[in-house]
Structure 1
Amino acid sequence: MTELNFKGKEFVYNHHLAVPFRPLVPHPEKGIGPVALDGNLVIHGDNLHALKALLPLYAGKVDCIFIDPPYNTGNEGWCYNDNVNAPMIREWLASNPIGIEDGLRHDKWCAMMWPRLRLLHELLSDTGSFWVTLDDNEIHRARMMLDGIFGESNFVACCIWHKNYSPKPSAQFFSDDHDYILVYAKDKLTWRPNMLGRTESMNARYSNPDNDPRGAWKPGDLSARNYYSEGTYSIRCPSGRLIEGPPGGNYWRVKEAKLWEMNRDNRIWWGEDGNNVPSIKRFLSEVRGRVPQTLWEYDEVGHTQDAKKELISILKPEKAEDVFITPKPVALISKVLDLATDENSVVLDSFSGSGTTAHAVLEANKRDNGNRRFILVEMEDYADKLTAERVRRVIEGYPFKGSQRTELLRERLNWKAISNAGDLVHKVEAIENLHGHEYDRIKKEVKDGELIVTGEKTVEERTDGLGGAFTYCTLGDPVELDKVLTGETLPSYEGLGAALFHMATSHALDPAKVREADFYLGAVAGQHVWLIYKPDLDWLKSPESALTLSRAKEFAATAPDARHLVIAPARFVSQKMLAEQNIPVEFVPLPFALYRIDRS
């Protein structure tokens, strides 16, 4: 596989391993509802450190990752701030922010993204998917990095988002009217996107001319476009007509034996007179849904102009410039959620910006009574006053007086749309039937060559909130394990245990399995993990904190056929004695830095 090389890659390749664990510190007054680290989260802090902080609880548990990183246009003013111990990288820190004249801006972008993508990959579940929006500045480099991290075989699609509904008047050569959405699976063999709903016009193409008891069907082509070695036979129709195979005749897409097997099951259509080229009957009852396409139009997933208007209507800033400059439409992320989540999925956005992902998750839960959870990470100062504030207002409702409008359909009136006017009318009628009760009126208008359908609701004082809760967190001091025994840092039992459990097993700690009084953390793949620890320096220096023979026997007795890993400040029993007595216990000294596993 072709590999992407960039300046600084050798210094950042395993930098995610050197990033210290930092605990999540809740701020109850800034969230809504009780503190719950296993619920919705908004985290203020460097996203590299935040992702490392999430590993102990969420490694391998995130179902959908959506990120909208800096596009690196040269005009965003983003900074490279990673604490990489290399002279060249140190020089980069002095040249912030990164602008259009920076000859290394693409290298810096890759160096910034690489360790974050490594951690995101580790957080993603085996059946999860990863989505990232970009434009032409970095799409090609991102594709090569993701091929290297996820594996080229796990690339799923590159979707095109048509984000503007009119050309940019400032464009010099072409108006850039689209962005990209790269899609990768953790394992493409186990992941499939959800099927989309079918329209009435799609279903209307099915009929039942032969009164098949399985219901309506439509013919599917049996001919193969290209050579197929087992599809080179001739076919005799029920009427007696012979349809020649190659050379000069048809190739078929199924084996001959399969064709006649399907014919016996009445799944082959020969025409009413039995003289047609055969086709496969595809039954509507067996159609799962509509396969998603890679072209996403703004009338379906929103556009940039309306995304900013929506954000302004929620936050009511004194000046429009005070809000996030490039928010994504809720409809765009809703489309991702429709394709990539179910009612109980965990959704992560580590470049959360204006908080659109949380808004989309809350809307999705409202629609289907789901229990999706969001995790947002934002490092900028506006994490509280913009990102979290939007989430608060969307949950609780916000002051508003006037007509609240929600765009339900935007369709360009080209010749194709006019030719299928009946389909368009059915689409509008379906919207009215589905959403009419939610609004005071459904407005339909044609403007600038587009049909726009809008739901309008008169609001006198405030909008209705979507409901929900979230916990607002910052990042605590690093858990520097080699300083535990000096007393410089004494994290909580669960905080230290979560970090050690993940480092030892590469899995997230399940807080429900922890028994602090018994020094038990949990089990993975037949191995039980124990931590003899209390956040008390005098206790840590006492004999009570050591692994003894009797304690080892107690631990092993809980699961005699399993392996047991015991982390403790000291031990009064040798590994040799444990082996001689067939006690399946392995001692690991605390600090765990002496036993750190490199999983690169």
Structure 2
Amino acid sequence: MPTLNWIGKEKVINHHRDVPFRVLNHKYGFTAEKGETNKPTNSGNKIIHGDNLEALKSLLPEYEGQVKCIYIDPPYNTGNEGWVYNDNVSHPKLKKWLGEVVGKEGDDLSRHDKWLCMMYPRLQILKRLLSIDGLIFISIDDNEYQSLKFLCDEIFGRQNFITNFSWRTDGNFDNQAKIKINHEYILCFAKKISQFEHPRIVDPNIDPSSKLFRRVIRNTIVKNGPKNPVSSINLPIGFPAEFESGVLEPRNDAWPKFDEPLKISGYKLEEPVSVSSGWSSKKLLESFIHAKFKPVLDTKQQLTRFVITNSGAIEALKDREQPSHVVSSLKNMGSTQNMSSDLKKMGINFDYPKPNSLLEYLLSIHHTKDHYVLDSFAGSGTTAHAVLNLNKKDGGNRKFILIEMEDYAEKITAKRIKKVIIGYGDGKNEVEGTGGSFDYYELGEPLFIGENAEYLNEKVGAEKIRSYIWFSETRTPYQAHNQQSETDYFLGAHEQTAYYFYYLPQEITTLDHDFLASVKTKAEQYVIYADNCLLSKEYLSSNNIIFKKIPRDINRF
């Protein structure tokens, strides 16, 4: 497979592993009923203000492999954005270079290399966050489309490419241009293509009278041609018919042909008959007969049955549980101009926001309604707006996670979502609130410090460290409990294992017999963290104790 090379690739290819893990500091919660509150809402909805590379890293302990849908709208690198991402890559030549504002082609001839250096580690972490049946959508235009496609082929695997949506960007266009550009792209990749199920939506441009909305899909299986030579199939007694009774006389002037009459009674064939034709689904028909007329799965995993029609044809019938028709060209899904106008009704000025209708459609391609949706280039917050709209429409419980590094994260992104939740506008322009809640976070201190991140940062607080340890061990949320005393180092029990984190700021802790005397929880196995251990390996093994040294043995995400 072709690979893409650029200046700095060898320095950033593993950079995501060196990004410091920072804790998230809760600033406030927001609910439709109470507005802002100091207490967490625990709704699962998050808005995070901070560098999106470090913020993505901070999500790994809780969300690795848990996010079913990712949508990002990164800088298109047109030369007009003036984007800057200081990724603190350790190599001195890249450190300053990546921290500079990226300009136009003539001003910064290496801006495409910088864009790729910025995107690569972010996509690496996004892949880790994506669930096995997850999808990622990435908006882009002609400036970096080719580079992005090669990048995603390398990171997600070319075999997991689903399609490149082209979005017709409705709105005003420069009439002086030689060619009016009225489209953008949205690349779509799966974490694992075999886990991607048929969407249960229909393109909104399809006429409601379309056969796509019919409950039963029916197609003749007669198909004659060089690839479908004529052959015979024996229809046994009991083969189903769609009419109650009657006799179809032998015929040689239409397909399928049969030399004996087809006698139908009680919607079934009374006597066996051999019919001949070219067939589009001969093996599937034979499987249906072998299964004694029970529905069988076709190549698309759709249950299929067969019937004789009153015209003598044989048709395949598939009961449609849910219509599915998604095409790669997207149109009539709103415009950035109209979305900007809607935001102004909220008192928000923002250039080129993606329209709600576009995001709602993309998010609906995942037919489940209870999953995480992540946007690490959140902008004005359209992704969260779309999630809240969808939940209101279909009663779903999707949860959004937004990351925005710019200073407007609070004044624009969070403000917009507050308006969406409680409602906005007056009179005929009033828009009813969706309801819901979210928690707002700032990116905090790194959990590990030191030149080689070899020490725990005590500034983050013991509870955040305890939460990290618990999640690194169990991959389940940490439930803080009231410690009975300073000697209560119990984290919790999970799958017959009790976890203890024997940690004291600015002190050295030792796992010994005195500490074991304080262990009250009964379990099949014990995992105990401490600075030192005075117990022998034989004693630990015979008592099913696993000792982990702080901070050496703490898992790093």
Give the TM-score band, short-chain normalised: 0.7 to 0.9
Residue 108 of structure 1: CA displacement? 1.1
1:395 paired residue number: 421
Quick one: structure 1 residues 576 and 257, their matched pair in 2 at CA, closer, same or farther if it must change by over 3 Å? same
Residue 304 of structure 1: CA displacement? 2.1
Quick one: structure 1 residues 486 and 109, their matched pair in 2 at CA, closer, same or farther if it must change by over 3 Å? closer
Contact 1:514/1:520, CA 8 A, preserved across alignment: no
Q: What pairs up with 1:528-567 in 2 under 5 angstroms?
A: 529-534=499-504, 536-537=505-506, 540-541=507-508, 545-549=509-513, 551=515, 558-560=522-524, 562=525, 564-567=526-529
Greater Cα offset, 55-64 or 235-244: 235-244
Contact 2:449/2:455, CA 8 A, preserved across alignment: no
- Structure showing the higher strand proportion among its residues: 2
1:401-437: CA deviation from partner (whole Å, max 9, x where unpaired)? 4532xxxxxxxxxxxxxxxxxxxxxxxxxxxxxxxxx
Q: What pairs up with 1:439-518 in 2 under 5 angstroms?
A: 459=430, 463-481=431-449, 489-501=458-470, 504=472, 508-512=475-479
SS at match of 2:543: coil
Contact 1:235/1:243, CA 8 A, preserved across alignment: no
> Is 1:296–2:343 an aligned residue pair?
no
SS at match of 2:21: coil
> Is 1:27–2:39 an aligned residue pair?
no
Residue 341 of structure 1: CA displacement? 5.3
1:589 paired residue number: 549
Q: Distance in 2 between matches of 1:94 and 1:491?
A: 27
1:57-109: CA deviation from partner (whole Å, max 9, x where unpaired)? 22222221111111111211111311001122124146423333222222111
2:137 paired residue number: 131
SS at match of 2:287: helix
SS at match of 1:112: helix
Residue 332 of structure 1: CA displacement? 0.9
> Is 1:191–2:225 an aligned residue pair?
no
2:316 paired residue number: 280
Aligned-partner residue type, residue 439 of structure 2: T
Aligned-pair identity in percent equals 33
Aligned-partner residue type, residue 519 of structure 1: Y
Q: Distance in 2 between matches of 1:381 and 1:76?
A: 15
Residue 335 of structure 1: CA displacement? 0.8
> Which of 144, 149, 152 is residue 150 of structure 2 equivalent to?
144
> Which of 261, 274, 280 is residue 252 of structure 1 equivalent to?
280
SS at match of 1:377: strand
Quick one: structure 1 residues 218 and 510, their matched pair in 2 at CA, closer, same or farther if it must change by over 3 Å? same
SS at match of 1:133: strand
> Gaps spanning 5+ residues in structure 1: where?
207-214, 317-322, 405-458
Residue 203 of structure 1: CA displacement? 4.9
1:244-289: CA deviation from partner (whole Å, max 9, x where unpaired)? 9xxxx84633326337559967954565442x5x442344xx4432
> Is 1:313–2:345 an aligned residue pair?
yes
2:91 paired residue number: 86
> Is 1:67–2:72 an aligned residue pair?
yes
Contact 2:497/2:527, CA 8 A, preserved across alignment: yes
Q: Distance in 2 between matches of 1:291 and 1:487?
A: 52
Contact 1:80/1:108, CA 8 A, preserved across alignment: no
Residue 42 of structure 1: CA displacement? 1.1
Q: Distance in 1 between matches of 2:327 and 2:454?
A: 57
Q: Distance in 2 between matches of 1:345 and 1:23?
A: 23
Q: What pairs up with 1:341-352 in 2 under 5 angstroms?
A: 342-352=368-378
Quick one: structure 1 residues 516 and 144, their matched pair in 2 at CA, closer, same or farther if it must change by over 3 Å? farther
Q: Distance in 1 between matches of 2:293 and 2:15?
A: 62
1:223-257: CA deviation from partner (whole Å, max 9, x where unpaired)? 388848xx87346897343769xxxx846333263
Quick one: structure 1 residues 522 and 155, their matched pair in 2 at CA, closer, same or farther if it must change by over 3 Å? farther
Residue 360 of structure 1: CA displacement? 1.1
> Is 1:58–2:63 an aligned residue pair?
yes
Aligned-partner residue type, residue 428 of structure 2: S
Quick one: structure 1 residues 226 and 67, their matched pair in 2 at CA, closer, same or farther if it must change by over 3 Å? farther
1:426 paired residue number: none
Quick one: structure 1 residues 344 and 510, their matched pair in 2 at CA, closer, same or farther if it must change by over 3 Å? same
1:552-585: CA deviation from partner (whole Å, max 9, x where unpaired)? 698797432x5x5432222222335423xx2333
> Gaps spanning 5+ residues in structure 2: where?
236-247, 258-276, 296-304
1:573 paired residue number: 535
Contact 1:232/1:252, CA 8 A, preserved across alignment: no
> Which of 320, 336, 354 is residue 328 of structure 1 equivalent to?
354
Aligned-partner residue type, residue 306 of structure 1: N
1:155-214: CA deviation from partner (whole Å, max 9, x where unpaired)? 222222111256542423x222111112222222233253115974135986xxxxxxxx
Residue 499 of structure 1: CA displacement? 3.4
2:210 paired residue number: 202
Quick one: structure 1 residues 480 and 390, their matched pair in 2 at CA, closer, same or farther if it must change by over 3 Å? same
TM-score calculated relative to the size of structure 2:
0.79
Contact 1:55/1:508, CA 8 A, preserved across alignment: no
1:41 paired residue number: 46
Quick one: structure 1 residues 487 and 302, their matched pair in 2 at CA, closer, same or farther if it must change by over 3 Å? closer
- Structure showing the higher helix proportion among its residues: 1
Q: Distance in 2 between matches of 1:130 and 1:515?
A: 40
1:446 paired residue number: none
Contact 1:575/1:586, CA 8 A, preserved across alignment: no
Residue 221 of structure 1: CA displacement? 4.5
Q: What pairs up with 1:397-416 in 2 under 5 angstroms?
A: 397-398=423-424, 400-404=425-429
Residue 486 of structure 1: CA displacement? 8.0
> Is 1:359–2:385 an aligned residue pair?
yes
Contact 2:4/2:151, CA 8 A, preserved across alignment: yes
1:2-40: CA deviation from partner (whole Å, max 9, x where unpaired)? 322222122111211111111111222887354245621
Q: Distance in 1 between matches of 2:25 and 2:381?
A: 20
1:408 paired residue number: none
Contact 1:42/1:470, CA 8 A, preserved across alignment: yes
Contact 2:7/2:113, CA 8 A, preserved across alignment: yes
Quick one: structure 1 residues 204 and 363, their matched pair in 2 at CA, closer, same or farther if it must change by over 3 Å? closer
Quick one: structure 1 residues 38 and 148, their matched pair in 2 at CA, closer, same or farther if it must change by over 3 Å? farther
Q: Distance in 1 between matches of 2:495 and 2:166?
A: 41
Residue 124 of structure 1: CA displacement? 1.8
Quick one: structure 1 residues 139 and 498, their matched pair in 2 at CA, closer, same or farther if it must change by over 3 Å? farther
Q: Distance in 1 between matches of 2:224 and 2:21?
A: 56
Residue 325 of structure 1: CA displacement? 1.3
Residue 520 of structure 1: CA displacement? 4.3
Quick one: structure 1 residues 492 and 302, their matched pair in 2 at CA, closer, same or farther if it must change by over 3 Å? same
SS at match of 2:437: coil
Quick one: structure 1 residues 572 and 263, their matched pair in 2 at CA, closer, same or farther if it must change by over 3 Å? closer
Residue 218 of structure 1: CA displacement? 3.1
Aligned-partner residue type, residue 309 of structure 1: S
Number of equivalences = 501
Quick one: structure 1 residues 565 and 225, their matched pair in 2 at CA, closer, same or farther if it must change by over 3 Å? farther
Contact 2:23/2:464, CA 8 A, preserved across alignment: yes
TM-score calculated relative to the size of structure 1:
0.74
SS at match of 1:77: coil
> Is 1:153–2:162 an aligned residue pair?
no
1:414 paired residue number: none
Q: Distance in 1 between matches of 2:497 and 2:222?
A: 54
